[in-house]
Amino acid sequence: MSADDLPHELIEGFGVRAAYPVSGGDIARAYRLETADGPLFLKWRPESTPDLFAREAAGLRALYAHRGDLGVPEVLRETGVGLVLEWIESGAPSPSTESDFGIGLARLHRTVGDRFGSLDGALAGYLGSVEVDLKPTDDWAEFFVHRRVIPLIERGIALGVVSGEARGLIERLAPRADELCGPPEPPSLVHGDLWAGNRMVGVGGRSWLIDPAAHWASREIDLAMMTLFGGFGRKCFTAYDEEFPLADGWRERLRWYQLPPLLVHAILFGGGYGRSAVDVLRHYAR
């Protein structure tokens, strides 16, 4: 692909010689840019949702600042329609990749903020391309139930991809939010969308974090997403718990914290995700 076909404001000054499409998810077009100084990664969405890339860039910069031994691509340019990032060369896992990732994620989660929600004062962010409320608050249970789960349920019902039964179930569960969300902990810096596709393994078996929906939250949010679709080994969770022990009952809360990604997937893709979300609500409403 010719560089002339890409947005000038994104590639200007990089000396792009050629661009090759690569896999990059469902939200944006992705390219490997060949330059005199080596390859770069470009994400581009011609008709971008307002602030979509600004929020991703803010998350990447926050994770980069506290990455420790984890890899996080450096943001080289951000515009309203895309990002240019450091290129990550894929590699094979090493025998210590899973345990190293668990330790690295635990250390990242030790980065704490003052309030739950936005990293930088933004009022909204995104899970995938679905807008979510990020207004800061001191109350994690209120944030999770009333600013995340209930709005996603209502949107899913309006689109016909979530059963109206979900509304009654969450109304029954909301008064128990403090119990269901687990023991209080300080707001942790979380990736926010940590499925296996957003953890890349690079050269030497090092793990890299990409495509974040980063915010201040319960650290169990990341653990729940990691277990929703699989892709992370037992050694990862064992190493995490040894480095930064999790509160009692965390495994019983995993399905509760899987509600937002299930609802977002229902909104974006339909299918059985809405039914799965209702099944989770029924489980906790017993």
Query: What do you get for the CA distance between the two ends of the chain, in Å?
Result: 56
Classify 199 as helix, strand or coil: strand
Instruction: Of 187, 212, 219, give the one whose Cα is nearest residue 58.
Output: 212
Marked catalytic residue, from 193, 211, 248, 279: 193
Residue found under tokens 């691509």: 73
Classify 106 as helix, strand or coil: helix
Residue found under tokens 């339909």: 270
Number of H helices, E strands in the chain: 12, 11
Side chain identity at residue 65, one-letter code = A
The rounded distance, in Å, linking the Cα atoms of 243 and 237 is 10
Side chain identity at residue 177, one-letter code = A
Q: Count the Cβ atoms, other than its own, within 10 Å of residue 204.
A: 12
Does the annotation mark 193 as catalytic? yes
Instruction: Of 224, 207, 240, 251, give the one whose Cα is nearest residue 109.
Output: 240
Residue found under tokens 């078996």: 205
Instruction: Of 277, 155, 142, 127, give the one whose Cα is nearest residue 215.
Output: 127
The rounded distance, in Å, linking the Cα atoms of 11 and 44 is 11
Residue found under tokens 């029924």: 282
Q: Count the Cβ atoms, other than its own, within 10 Å of residue 195.
A: 18
Positions marked active-site: 193
